[in-house]
Every structure is written in structure tokens, then in C-alpha cells.
Amino acid sequence: MPAVNDKTGGNMKKIKRFEKIRHEPTNVKELLTEMKDVSELITDLAYSAVIFDIREIAEEVKELESRMDKLLYQIRLTAMLATRTVEDAEQFSGLLQVASAAEDISNAAGDIVRLLDTKIENRPFLPSLLQKADEKIRIIHLPEKSPMSDKTIGELNVEAETGVRIIAIRKGERWVYNPGDSIILSGGDMLIVRGVDDGYIRLKGFAEGKRGLNNE
Amino acid sequence: MNEIEELFLEMKDTSELMIDLAYSALLYNSREIAEEVFNLEEMIDELNANIQKSSVSSAVNDGNVEKALVILRLANCIESIADGAMEIADVVLRDIEPHPILKMSVMESDTIITRVVVDEKSVLADKTLGETKLTSKTGMWVIAIRREKSWFFGPDENTVLKKGDIILARGPKEGEEDLIKIASGRKRRV
């Protein structure tokens, strides 16, 4: 099943990105920013995979986990090459510690989705263990005639308007992870979202054409 | 909610707060925030120990070893996430100033962290966080509040905001401006 990650590109693009990482110098800031972003996304994805028992998301978590290995390797190389003085080395050592912590977090996310390898009858309680949080992970189905249909996520400004972040979207057989502002929503899409209760209720009502996005 | 569910709720929320605080500590080079991450880590250890106890004793009672194992493994994963947060915060507690790139990365990531002061004219003053619906209206999630010399970490919906409070929040870049306007009193509706 083809998967698209708005950050890392589709499968084809993904391979390209890895090659780019191997041959071209990349700067430490961009590497670290991506590592931070991935470490936050990957835990949300891991919890979603376990809560809703979705294999595709679990696979994406594993891919992101290996991407983090590569990013960590690259940031180490880049930092070493940039080190000239003892002060540089001391500061870079702290920076690499942060990068390595982000990678540890991703590995933990990978371990979370491996819980799905346990027979399903041994883990019926798993969703409820993770579902009661301040910011809950939930599913919203867009009906065919949803007011959100044919609009981009950026246009709707979903996260700033509702406090709910779209973590992943299933479009037919295809998944989009960490959708960016340019992703167009369509009727029939299934959104996996993370956020506070009142924002979720508002977004769900709007998605189903029952209310405006902003009114009480 | 049974006991284990409650422990997991606490553990997951705490580990996420720790990550937010760890990045905040980097952004503002704040030892106080970094130290809180270490305090929370102790809480995580305690929660994990309690989860271990109840899961083992439930296995003894109902003989369901597989179930107990899944619970133990999940708790360990969350503990590892919390450890990651601690590693990040640790960088701030060294005697060397964190590399400036760390701050830039936190500022440029998908989820940003920002700091605003609640003005006396702000609609936020003297309201609880729940009443303000700040998160669902701006996308910004409050991580911590500083009032004079004290910090409130991980406030909940019942936490009352006061004029002069410094709010530390995380969320999308698009939500930051709104939060600033609301906190400064330039925008009278949340």
C-alpha cells in the first residue's frame, strides 16, 4: 500500500532523501529540527496505532524509527566536522545528547507499536489504557458532503482554530502521515486527530456539517 | 476507571509534559524548568513501580501472564520516553551554555513554544484555564505558569490565571499571534 509522508515524501522520494543525506552536507540545525519534529510525531502515531489497532501506522512508525537512526548518524558526522575548539566540542556534545534523546524517544515509540505483535486477545484493554489523556487521540470520519471537503488543512487552519492536530489521514487505501498545510481534505477521508475535548467536539460537528468551525 | 488505567493516564500525561518542559528549558536556558523535568522523572519511576506491582498482582490473581506482560512493556516504553526528556533537560543543567542551534531548532519546529504575560486588561485574568478555552481557540496548550517567583507546571482546567502571570505554551506557529493578542488584552474575545 503506498504511503505518503508529507515531511519525508512518498516512498520514492524517501529513498532520494536518504541518498541526499549520504552525499550532501546538511546543516545541524535542519537535522535537529527534523529529529525534534519526528520524535513528537512518532509518539502520537505509535499511540494511535495501538489505540485503533492500525498496522499501516505501526509500519510508518518503524520507518520513522529507522529514519531517526540515519538522522542521528548524519548529525554526529556533521557536528564532528564542524568542531574546531574545545568549546565547540563541549557545546556539540550537549547538542548530540539532545539528538540522541530524540532518537531514544523514537525507539520507545517503535517498542510501543511492537505490542501489536502480541495476539489481539491478550491486549483488549490496551486502547483504554492510552485513551484517557488530557489530549486524546480520536478518529473523525468526513462525510461525502463535509464542509471540510476540497479545502486544504492550511485554509481551515485546523490546529490553531480548534486545538486539534491532524496526525494522519486515510484517503481510500492511502495514508498521509503528518499532513502539511497543503493537503486537501476530501469526503470519505478518515482523520486521526489529537487534542482537547471541546476542540474535538467543535471540529467533529463542523466536519459533519452540523455547525460552524468557530461558533460556540 | 480502574487503578491501572489511572496510573497510565498519569504516566502518559506526565511524560508528555516532561518533553514539553525539556524543550522549554532548552529554549529559555532555564535551570528551574530543567530541574522540574528531573522531579517529574521521580514521579514517573514511582508510577511505573506501582504499575508493575498491580500488574504482577493481577497476574497472580487471574493467571493472565500475557496481559501483565503487555502492561509492563507499555509502562517501560513510556518510562523510556520520560528518560529521553530527562536527557534533553540534562543539557541545560551543565555548566556550559547550550549550543545556540538547540534554541533555533525548538523555534523552527512544527510545534513551537512561546511565552506571554497576562496583562490586567486581558480576558484571561481571573479565569480558569478551562473557562478560557484557550487551547481549543488558539491551539496553544499551556505547559507552565510563572507567578512572581513560583512556577506551576502542568496546570489543569481548574488553574486560575492572574494578571502578571507568565504563560508558557506550546502549539502551532499560527496560534502564537492570537495568544499574544489575547494575553496582552488587544483581543477581547478568546
pLDDT tens by residue, B58-68: 999 999 999 99
- Is position B189 within any domain? no
CB contact under 8 A, B84 and A91: no
Nearest-Cα distance to chain B for A7, in Å, is: 10
Instruction: Identify the band that residue A81 occupies on the pLDDT scale cut at 50, 70 and 90.
Output: very high
CATH of the domain at B175: 3.30.70.1450
A99 pLDDT higher than 90: yes
User: Do B72 and B9 lie in a common domain?
Assistant: yes
> Nearest CB to A129: which of B8, B84, B135?
B8
CB contact under 8 A, A199 and B136: yes
**Do B69 and B8 sit in the same domain of this protein?**
yes
Q: Give the integer Cα–Cα distance in Å for A47 and B74.
A: 10
Q: What's the burial of B27, exposed, middle or buried (CB within 10 Å: 0-12/13-18/19+)? A: buried
Task: Please indicate, yes or no, whether residues B13 and B40 belong to a single structural domain of this protein.
Answer: yes
Q: How high is the pLDDT of residue A128?
A: 87
Give percent above pLDDT 90 in chain A.
Answer: 75
Nearest chain A residue (CA) to B82: A105
How would you classify the pairing of strands A174-177 and A3-5?
parallel
Q: What does the pLDDT read at residue A20?
A: 45
A198 touching B (Cβ < 8 Å): yes
pTM for the complete prediction? 0.90
Cβ contact B99–A109 (<8 Å): no
Domain count, chain B: 2
The architecture of the domain spanning A3-122 is Up-down Bundle (1.20)
Q: Which of B69, B101, B133 is the last residue of a domain?
A: B101
Residue among B146, B150, B96, B87 nearest B117 (CA): B146
pLDDT value at A16 more than 50? no
Rg (alpha carbons) of chain B, rounded to whole number:
19
Q: Does A122 touch chain B (CB under 8 A)?
A: yes
Using the Cβ of A206 and the Cβ atoms of chain B, whether some distance falls under 8 Å is answered with: no
pLDDT tens per residue, range B46-104: 999 999 999 999 999 999 999 999 999 999 999 999 999 999 999 999 988 999 999 99
pLDDT of residue B103: 95
**pLDDT at position A26:** 73
Q: How far is A115 from chain B (nearest CA, A)?
A: 7
Place of cell 530527562: B86
Range of the domain at B138: 110-184
Residue B97 shares a structural domain with residue B167: no
**Do B36 and B124 lie in a common domain?**
no
The more confidently predicted of residues A11 and B58 is B58
| Together in a domain, B15 and B54 | yes
Q: For residues A132-154, give the mean pLDDT.
A: 94
- Would you call B70 and A105 a contact, using CB atoms and an 8 Å cutoff? no
Question: What local confidence, expressed as pLDDT, does residue A114 receive?
Answer: 96
Is residue B78 assigned to a domain?
yes
Cα–Cα dist B33/B26, whole Å: 9
What is the model's pLDDT at position A14? 46
Residue B14 has pLDDT above 90, yes or no: yes
Residues B93, B61 share a domain: yes
Q: Grid cell 482537547 — which residue?
A: A196
* pLDDT at residue number B1: 53
Q: Are residues B114 and B97 in the same domain?
A: no
pLDDT at A5: 53
SS3 state at A140: strand
Chain A residues closer than 8 Å to B133 by CB: 198
Q: What is the mean pLDDT of chain A?
A: 88
Domain CATH number, residue B44: 1.20.58.220
- CATH class for domain A133-207? alpha beta
Tell me: pLDDT of B33 over 60. Answer: yes
Answer yes or no: do B73 and B8 share one domain: yes
| Sequence-ordered list of residues with C-beta below 8 angstroms from that of B127, at least 6 positions apart, any chain | B160, B161
Band of residue A190 on the pLDDT scale cut at 50, 70, 90:
very high
* Nearest Cβ partner for A160 among B70, B80, B175: B175
Unique residue bearing C-alpha cell 498496522: A55
Name the A residues in 22-81 with CB < 8 Å from any B CB. Answer: 28-29, 32-33, 36-37, 39-41, 43, 47
Is A40–B111 a contact, with Cβ atoms under 8 angstroms apart?
Answer: yes
Answer with the one of B78, B101, B124 that is the final residue of a domain: B101
Instruction: Give the C-alpha separation, B34 to B30, whole Å.
Output: 6
Contact status, residue B157 vs residue B97, Cβ threshold 8 Å: no
Pull the grid cell for residue B56.
Answer: 504482577
Chain B closest-CA separation from residue A182 CA (Å): 14
Of B101, B132, B166, the position where a domain reaches its end is B101
Give me the sheet containing A164-171, strands edge to edge: A9-10, A3-5, A174-177, A164-171, A190-195, A136-141
Number of continuous H segments (helices) and E segments (strands) in chain B: 7, 4
Look at residue B174 and tell me if it is in a domain. yes
Mean pLDDT of chain B: 94
User: Which pLDDT score, from 0 to 100, does residue B20 have?
Assistant: 97
Using one digit for the tens of pLDDT, what is the confidence trace for B145-181? 999 999 999 999 999 999 999 999 999 999 999 999 9
Do residues B97 and B124 both lie within one domain? no
Mean pLDDT over residues A188-194, rounded? 97
The answer to whether residue B190 is domain-embedded is no
Q: Are both B96 and B117 inside the same structural domain?
A: no
Residue B166 three-state SS? strand
Same domain for B87 and B121, yes or no, is no
Domain residue ranges in chain A: 3-122, 133-207
Domain membership of residue B42 (yes or no) is yes
- Look at A20-24, A53-57, A197-201 and tell me which has the smallest mean pLDDT: A20-24
Would you tell me how many other CB atoms lie within 10 Å of the CB of residue A158? 30
